Amino acid sequence: MTDLVTLQAGWALWSKQPGTRQDYSVLGCSPAPFNRGEFEAIITRFAVGSPDVTLTGAAALPWVTVSWVGVDNDQHIGISVTDHTGQVDGFGRTITQRAYFCVSYAQLSRTPISYCDLYDAVTAQAPALRVADGPMIQLTVPALSSDRLADAVRRAGEQTVMATAALLLSGPVSVVHAEGTSLRDRLEFIDAVTSLLPYGYRVRFSGTTWSDTGTKHRVRLAFAARPSEGAAVVPWRGPVEIPAGNQLSLAYCSRLRQLGQDPALSRGTPGLSAVIAQLAADGAARTFEQPQSAFDSLNRGDLPGLARWLAARGDLDADQRGYWASQLGRLRAYTPQAQAWLDTALLMVDGLPTALPPAQEAGAAVYGQALAEAWTELSDSYPAFSGESCAGGLARYLGGQHWTATNQQALAVTVVVRWLGDFDRQLVLGRTVASTLAATPAARDWDFAQDWLAWAAANEPEVIMGRLAAAQPGAAPGSLVELCAQAYRKGIDPDRALRALAKSGALTGEDLAFQVLAGLQQELAAAAADEDVANAWLFRFSELLAAGEFGIELGQRLRALVSERTRRDLWLELRFLEIFAAAGRDRECEWTSDEREELAAIAGEIESMLRKSRKFQLPKKLRNPFGGGPEEDVVRGGAGQAGEHGTVPVQGGPE
């Protein structure tokens, strides 16, 4: 059975005395909550045109306008019904009347009602209004039914209604092409649209079932024959386009669509009726100057959905990430699980968690487990999601927080980080925790910190240097790469670290050296190392290898290996270029001006490199170690002459 709400309504009747030459005015009103002049100000403020009583279709009377009035704690929702009177004024012009009613918002914020139900209640009262003042009237209105409103949303077209609600957050909206609709259709549309916004916006919302386009009215959602100037346009039940730059409306609409999906068909979505109920329950008064508050309200009950929505988008640029980081940063979660989902969403957009993990061990465990489960689910479902990236973001956040101030908070952080071990392959998070604990004298007395301190001690720079120097010949390439990576992470100078590795004699062959070089390159890229730092490591490694610091013969063998592979790759790439550039019956290459210019520059670069080079003869045993390869061709391309290794300059010299 539907709950009923009893409301005291103020009222005013706006019309003309028949046969007179006076203008429209308040002919009668209730003594509260406003006086006659105030009723006049309200009614004229939300006037939407001069109705033509002869018109038919959607423009025909009655016109229903919902509105608002009041500030602070004295806010009201208004509804007016403009209709025929069948009378004429002193100039013989037909007279219309506008019956205006208002009810206090304070009661509605606790027990929301729909505009359709309010309309039904006031139309039952309108005939009783008199041209003389009278008492306030009592309205009995059913409490809002989210199921009925969900049906209204579906009838009016979910996509259209959701987009209209989202557009209302950024400005007025005109609904056009609704000439064939009934008053009930249009009022239900207004109800459907507003049901997809937090109820609290009603203290600033206005809508009308028809308006005169020539009147520059103040109504936010208006049906009209033509769109109002500056209003977004929504065709009745038609496709609605939200401008690409309107990020909030786009996001709001997108989230509404996600949340409104049928729960039976889409796992974890609350469904349209639940979304409407949730928004209706959010009666905190707000204005459209706070549009982001709608997004907050929408997400409050479904932070997992928010994170999934972000993970599904996956294509955010830096501006969008910055925007969402600031938007999400204002949200609050009230359970460890909800906080885990919110923090996940924040980390996805390069934002930082809004708070440290719960300082209670149990809460931290729940939080850490929820994070791990969320990241696992998102990794499995959304290719764009990166748990490692989130771990890196969490490490950055912890690096800026004083989380070792108390034993409990520090314990909570370590509990969380242990849950995230699988997502911390680069040990970014682990190192942050270990090094912070190592820098905290009090941590030496904390039992839970001992393992971390030991791990940190094992990763001290001198320890790492010692391991590099003591690396055994024939060690697995992965372990050597990890040693170098540890040195990089500890900020050890590449020259110092690599010379220690060289002295160890661990690199015993050119293949192993090449694998370590390539592996280090990958490791630095995965660790998002600064490009200059990464280059310093890789170039220094190459230079030391080439200079024979890892052994003369190893350097020469590696040189031959690299040279061979690179030349082979160059030939391969050139062939690809040729294949794809061939066109026409003769299969001749076709190049654009840009391509031609760039290829000429590459050719010039090779030419210049050869001119500046000296001729060099590999030791016999190293010639063509992999077989094949047009070595002569490459040499032929240069201008070098015969000469001893490292002694004869190229003829002609540099240009």
Question: Given the rule CB under 8 A, which residues bind other proteins?
Answer: 16, 21-26, 34, 36-38, 40-53, 69-71, 88-96, 171-172, 204, 206, 212-220, 225-226, 228-231, 287
Nearer to other proteins, 45 or 503 (CB): 45
CA–CA dist 218, 211 (Å, integer): 11
Token couple for 576:
């690809």
Residue 21 or residue 620: which is nearer to other proteins going by CB?
Answer: 21
CB 76 within 8 A of CB 51: no
Q: Please give the C-alpha separations between residue 432 and each of 440, 451, 616, 617, in angstroms, as whole numbers.
A: 12, 14, 49, 50
- The secondary structure of residue 354, as a DSSP letter, is S
How does DSSP classify residue 90?
T
Across-strand partners of 98? 14, 82
Alpha carbon separation from 602 to 294, 441, 565 (Å, rounded): 56, 58, 18
Q: Which is nearer to other proteins, 112 or 172 (CB)?
A: 172
Strands 63-69 and 173-176, sheet pairing: unpaired
Would you say 34 or 537 has its CB closer to other proteins? 34
Return the sign of the alpha-carbon dihedral for residues 242, 244, 245, 250.
Answer: positive
Is 92 or 627 the residue whose CB approaches other proteins more closely? 92
CA distance 468 to 480: 8
Query: Distance (Å, rounded) from C-alpha 557 to C-alpha 619?
Result: 10
Amino acid at 647: T
Q: How far is the CB of 285 from other proteins (least distance, A)?
A: 11
Q: How far is the CB of 354 from other proteins (least distance, A)?
A: 31
DSSP 8-state code for residue 426: T
| Least spacing, CB of residue 255 vs other proteins, in Å | 24
CB of 262 to other proteins, least distance (A): 33
Q: How far is the CB of 43 from other proteins (least distance, A)?
A: 8
Nearer residue to other proteins within complex by CB, 196 or 464: 196
Nearer to other proteins, 226 or 621 (CB): 226
Nearest alpha carbon to residue 81 among 118, 108, 112? 118
Other CB atoms within 10 Å distance of the CB of residue 300: 19
Q: Least Å distance between CB 48 and other proteins?
A: 6
Give the residue with the Cβ less far from other proteins, 202 or 418.
202
- Residue 201 C-beta: closest distance to other proteins, Å: 12
Query: How many Å apart are CA 645 and CA 630, to the nearest integer?
Result: 21
| Burial profile 440-451: b = 16 or more Cβ within 10 angstroms, e = fewer | beebeebeebee
Q: Which is nearer to other proteins, 58 or 481 (CB)?
A: 58
Written as six digits, the tokens of 202 are: 């009603």
Tokens of 235: 């065709």
Q: Distance between CA atoms of 560 and 473, rounded to whole angstroms?
A: 22
The three state secondary structure string of 575-616 is: HHHHHHHEECCCCEECCCHHHHHHHHHHHHHHHHHHHCCCCC
The least distance separating other proteins from the CB of residue 92, rounded to whole angstroms, comes to 4
Q: Which is nearer to other proteins, 72 or 447 (CB)?
A: 72
Report the Cα 33 to chain-centroid distance in Å.
45
17 vs 542, beta carbon nearer other proteins: 17
3-state helix, strand, coil in the chain (%, to 5): 50, 10, 35
- Shortest Cβ distance from residue 228 to other proteins (Å)? 5
* Least CB distance to other proteins at residue 360 (A): 44
Closest approach of Cβ 99 to other proteins, in Å? 14
For other proteins, the closer of residues 93 and 621 by Cβ is 93
Shortest distance (Å) from residue 166 CB to other proteins: 16
115 secondary structure, DSSP code: H
Nearest to 292 by CA among 336, 238, 344, 251: 251
Least separation in angstroms between CB 7 and other proteins: 20
Q: In the numeric block, which tokens belong to residue 124?
A: 């039952």
Residue 304 has which token pair?
A: 């997992």
E-assigned strand segments in 136-290: 137-142, 173-176, 207-211, 221-224, 232-235
Minimum CB separation of residue 229 from other proteins in Å reads 7
Query: Cβ closer to other proteins: 94 or 254?
Result: 94
Nearer to other proteins, 224 or 561 (CB): 224
Q: Nearer to other proteins by C-beta: 220 or 300?
A: 220
Q: Could you tell me the smallest distance in angstroms from the CB atom of residue 232 to other proteins?
A: 11
Residue 211: C-alpha distances to residues 220, 293, 325, 515, 632 (Å): 11, 29, 40, 75, 85
d(CA 249, CA 242): 7
How far, in Å, are 51, 85, 227 from residue 59 at the CA level? 8, 17, 14
